[in-house]
Structure 1
Amino acid sequence: MSVPQMVFVNVTTEDLTRSIAFYEALGCQINPLFTDENAACVVWSDTVFFMVLRRDFFATFTDKPLADPRTHAQSLIALTRDSREHVDATLTKGLDAGGVEPRPAQDLGFMYSRDLEDPDGNILSFLWMDPAAAAHGPEAYTAEQG
């Protein structure tokens, strides 16, 4: 039996309890089998997970210096939503839970996205893309629009 490919994104936190509350407010579940005093497994879907790790614990996995996500971008994590409204609703939940929207929404017609920084400064981008553009590129969306 083949195991589906899964994605685990590791991000740092200064306050694990606060991070758990933030991601639960976005609608994520926490997998207790992979959560302890050092880390929490945030479930986005059956195949996408965040491992939110205390900074000192995260540091045990690398010999490189850790970037401070409040002052340095170390990654931009993009997650799709079902609609523009779903993007907006996700941002509202995140802002209500202590997140920050660092820049205005981007509306390219075929794609709509909004960025959200979690309380530690990790950047999440939530986006909706027109199915024609997703399948065939932005030009397909433009041609479909006339």
Structure 2
Amino acid sequence: MIKQIFVNLPVKDLEATKTFWTAVGFTFNPQFSDQNAASLVLGENIYAMLIVPSYFSTFTKKEIVDATKMTEAINALGAESKAEVDNIVDKAIAAGGKETRAAEDHGWMYGRSFEDLDGHQWEVTYIDVSSIPANPGEAS
């Protein structure tokens, strides 16, 4: 069983990125942070490693994607409430992020999306598991 998750993302300006995520309300784990990377704490044992390109390139032989031009992945975060979804996304936008999709409210599921300073896509969703319909794909 997996005990921790580390999502590695390249960032152009580590200090600006740290300022952005701090403004959104998140913290960093100094144990896994230095001048090359910052360990963004997303939850218990869930981290995004925000890594400068020169160091990121030591982990892969592939070209680093420019997330402002191409989609590499959509990073989805589960929130505890609709209000928390709005709080996180509103703070991200206020800190310089860009809303990428309007709020979607399906009653049992609510979500919004934004891009961070480097264009990485983040989807923040609240799911009321007690209200999930029998066939969620057919629910509106």
TM-score (norm 2): 0.90
The structure 2 residue matched to 1:113, chosen from 111, 116, 122, is 111
Residue 126 of structure 1: aligned partner:
124
* Percent identical: 34
Task: Flag the structure with larger Rg.
Answer: 1
**Closer/same/farther in 2, CA of residues 4 and 68 from structure 1, 3 Å limit:** closer
1:22-37, aligned counterparts within 5 Å?
22-37=20-35
Residue 144 of structure 1: aligned partner:
none
Residue 44 of structure 1: aligned partner:
42
The farther-off stretch of 12-21 and 22-31 is: 22-31
Structure 1 contact 41–52 (Cα < 8 Å) conserved: yes
1:29, CA displacement in angstroms? 1.1
1:130, CA displacement in angstroms? 1.0
Residue 17 of structure 2: aligned partner:
19
The structure 1 residue matched to 2:134, chosen from 117, 136, 139, is 139
The CA distance in 1 between the partners of 2:68 and 2:55, in whole Å, is 18
Three-state SS of the structure 2 residue aligned to 1:24 is helix
Deviation by residue 1:61-112 (Cα, 9 ceiling, x = unmatched): 0011111000111011100111111101111111111110012122222211
TM-score (norm 1): 0.86
Three-state SS of the structure 1 residue aligned to 2:100 is coil
RMSD (Å) for aligned C-alpha atoms: 1.9
Three-state SS of the structure 2 residue aligned to 1:10 is strand
Q: How many residues align?
A: 137
The CA distance in 2 between the partners of 1:106 and 1:84, in whole Å, is 11
Residue 100 of structure 1: aligned partner:
98
Moved over 4 A (4+): none
Gaps spanning 5+ residues in structure 2: where? none
The CA distance in 2 between the partners of 1:140 and 1:85, in whole Å, is 25
The CA distance in 2 between the partners of 1:87 and 1:122, in whole Å, is 17
